[in-house]
A and B are shown apart, each in its own frame.
Chain A
């Protein structure tokens, strides 16, 4: 087979980014910023090229999965895990998204980080950013190309690490640049929330090994049917614990709380890791585990409900946020909810389709938001420093400080508008097609989730409308916004490419053509082309337009004035406060979990370790007993009274006996002679009388 040669290229998707980061680590110190960024982008771009070649190889070949053995890893007892690459239509789709969107974001970051490191006064950190970014691409590639749950987990943990490193990229400050632990706390929060999910993933993997004696996809799926027939509880257990992992990585209820805080990372990171790729790993995991999920309808229902509730819940929070990136973060959680709901319902293609289009338009939105933030930073920088605004801390992310940016940043405005309309699901942009496919599937399979998602879609259009009106229309509400400047081409050109993808992404799986369905049916058994439901599409379009109109009525008709409160606050009253304060979930988690954990830790430290273990066991029991034993028993009784008595008594007795014996030694020779005589007489007497 001619294409088999192409498949053997697959390790390059991991090792090209690794090579890029190694070169940057070793020689980056002597390279210019442009060279560092170009190299990292090239590494990612070449990985994209390899992924594309793999796609071509699959296209021309049979389309079935190809497993490329690469290295042996673990041989312990029954456990055999090799590092094999799996090239199938699903993994190649993920590779293309990761490296394609990743490359565009790398190029964008060349321009973005150039300014960011200067605004934050640490130029040396430029190189580190690209090292982490390349590491992320490599880890993500391991995740999507692994042939077993364990290799997937390696990548899963690796991207978690990169996420941690990049959220805490400016670890010594908060998002406003003040010295603080805020950013590093956000990084830790992400890491810990993900660990809880990883714990679920691990339990699922252990159970899988226990039940199937193997962790590779093919072996697990081959036996799944038999095991399910005998004991469906095992499969339910596995799938539900995998769901916990999904909830951690893909920011679903109850573990979503880390994602909004993750916006502390630089904006390209928010776009790449926390919108387009890493957070979709959970969706990929469910799609990959489709043969397991389809065996247990209860698990599917749970996944769909978690996704649906998350989609609705996060969308309501997004309505009440002021930080431009926080709105997008909650929007991401909501959209991930759409995808999770879709793959939960068994609409795997719809979920993957939305994953791809969402990667396009959400990366576009985040990067455009980054461009807006940079524009604000530039405005702040150029503002005459008359002491008035220099002293006060200025938040370039706060939408209440923006307004009217359409005039200052026209390119960014149009790009942002494309992204927002795509996200809102306006015909014929990418979001319309993918969201409608999910809604149409939900309409048939799970009406309750359908209505949740429909309301969430309405809210999505509303908060995106609110954001666009607040940021780009009206008059500048802060002198900084007046001086905001457009971004350079290195930033806007990747955005244009993403915008084109966000417009055209729908062609991947147009109703009737269903190219993505045909592509994925090689990997996921039993997928059917999604049908186009005019009721669903019509309702969602009408709702989206209504939501945009509503947002115009509230925010567009009469733009927000400087210092004015959000008009929605007047309309909704306390409900808006609930949205604005994010349902107090963070506070709830603090009081129920974190503080209890701190209490337990304090109890363990103070009472168990301090008072019991140290004060009682060590001081009293061990040291006290030892002291008592050595002082009272051994010293006073044994040593002083017994051993000393032996020694002293021996001396005393020797003295006494010698005292009486010394009298014999009187120095008179005659008495010695007499003694000798007596001795002789006694001995002779004895010998004779014997």
Chain B
């Protein structure tokens, strides 16, 4: 009953998730997948917040998670709008075609 899962386990999972998300962002070319990878990274961060909050017994981390979820929802809304616009112009959503802003 008193046996609890140690904090480091949570953090390890959070790190794995974060790494997976990062890898997804860097490797995938489909913006939808990239967004999903970004969500994965955000949620890994949420997991770390919650784990710390529970471990230290403070509410701040829990509250912060709500903010992160809100921001990510807003971000996805903007991101999807961008994707629609890009598609209209390029008739594709391959991220590698979006490279006209270069030196």
Q: How far is the CB of B1 from chain A (nearest CB, A)?
A: 36
Within 8 A of B (CB), among A646-690: 658, 661-670, 673-674, 677
Q: Given A670-B25, A674-B26, A677-B22, are A664 and B103 neighbors across the interface (CB < 8 Å)?
A: yes
A residues within 8 A CB of B27? 670
Q: Confirm or deny: B95 has a beta carbon within 8 angstroms of a beta carbon on chain A.
A: yes
Q: Given A674-B26, A677-B22, are A666 and B95 neighbors across the interface (CB < 8 Å)?
A: no
Residue of B nearest to A665 (CB): B103
**Do residues A666 and B99 form an inter-chain contact, with CB atoms below 8 A?**
yes
Within 8 A of B (CB), among A620-664: 658, 661-664
**Do residues A667 and B26 form an inter-chain contact, with CB atoms below 8 A?**
no
Q: How far is the CB of A301 from chain B (nearest CB, A)?
A: 110
A residues within 8 A CB of B25? 670, 673
Q: Confirm or deny: B5 has a beta carbon within 8 angstroms of a beta carbon on chain A.
A: no
A residues within 8 A CB of B103? 658, 661-666
**Do residues A669 and B98 form an inter-chain contact, with CB atoms below 8 A?**
yes
**Do residues B102 and A666 form an inter-chain contact, with CB atoms below 8 A?**
yes
B residues within 8 A CB of A667? 98-102
Q: Given A677-B22, A677-B26, are A670 and B95 neighbors across the interface (CB < 8 Å)?
A: yes
Within 8 A of A (CB), among B68-103: 95-96, 98-103
B residues within 8 A CB of A673? 25-26
- Measured in the bound complex, the distance between the Cα atoms of B25 and A614 in whole Å is 84
- A662, A664, A666, A670 interface centre (most CB from chain B within 10 Å): A670
A residues within 8 A CB of B102? 662, 665-667
**Do residues B26 and A668 form an inter-chain contact, with CB atoms below 8 A?**
no
**Do residues B100 and A669 form an inter-chain contact, with CB atoms below 8 A?**
no
Give per-residue flags for B48-63: 1 if the beta carbon is below 8 A from chain A beta carbons, else 0: 0000000000000000
B residues within 8 A CB of A677? 22, 26
Q: How far is the CB of A659 from chain B (nearest CB, A)?
A: 9
A residues within 8 A CB of B101? 665, 667
- Measured in the bound complex, the distance between the Cα atoms of B26 and A668 in whole Å is 10
- Measured in the bound complex, the distance between the Cα atoms of B101 and A368 in whole Å is 118
A residues within 8 A CB of B99? 666-668
- Measured in the bound complex, the distance between the Cα atoms of B25 and A666 in whole Å is 17
Residue of B nearest to A669 (CB): B95
- Measured in the bound complex, the distance between the Cα atoms of B103 and A201 in whole Å is 95
Q: How far is the CB of B80 from chain A (nearest CB, A)?
A: 16
Residue of A nearest to B28 (CB): A670
Give per-residue flags for B25-52: 1 if the beta carbon is below 8 A from chain A beta carbons, else 0: 1110000000000000000000000000
Q: How far is the CB of B19 from chain A (nearest CB, A)?
A: 10
- B95, B96, B98, B102 interface centre (most CB from chain A within 10 Å): B102
Q: How far is the CB of A661 from chain B (nearest CB, A)?
A: 7
- Measured in the bound complex, the distance between the Cα atoms of B102 and A662 in whole Å is 8
- Measured in the bound complex, the distance between the Cα atoms of B99 and A666 in whole Å is 7
B residues within 8 A CB of A662? 102-103
Residue of B nearest to A671 (CB): B26
**Do residues A670 and B98 form an inter-chain contact, with CB atoms below 8 A?**
no
- Measured in the bound complex, the distance between the Cα atoms of B26 and A493 in whole Å is 137
- Measured in the bound complex, the distance between the Cα atoms of B102 and A668 in whole Å is 8
Q: How far is the CB of A657 from chain B (nearest CB, A)?
A: 12
B residues within 8 A CB of A664? 103
Q: How far is the CB of A592 from chain B (nearest CB, A)?
A: 93
- Measured in the bound complex, the distance between the Cα atoms of B103 and A194 in whole Å is 94
A residues within 8 A CB of B100? 667
- Measured in the bound complex, the distance between the Cα atoms of B27 and A677 in whole Å is 13
Q: How far is the CB of A669 from chain B (nearest CB, A)?
A: 6
Known: A669-B95, A673-B25. 15 other contacts (CB 8 A): A658-B103, A661-B103, A662-B102, A663-B103, A665-B101, A666-B102, A666-B103, A667-B98, A667-B101, A667-B102, A668-B99, A670-B25, A670-B26, A670-B27, A670-B95
Closest 6 CB pairs between A and B? A667-B99, A662-B103, A667-B102, A665-B103, A665-B102, A670-B26
Residues of A within 8 A of B (CB): 658, 661-670, 673-674, 677
Residues of B within 8 A of A (CB): 22, 25-27, 95-96, 98-103
20 A-B residue pairings within 8 Å (CB atoms): A663-B103, A664-B103, A665-B102, A665-B103, A666-B102, A666-B103, A667-B98, A667-B100, A667-B101, A668-B95, A668-B99, A669-B95, A670-B25, A670-B27, A670-B95, A670-B96, A673-B25, A674-B26, A677-B22, A677-B26
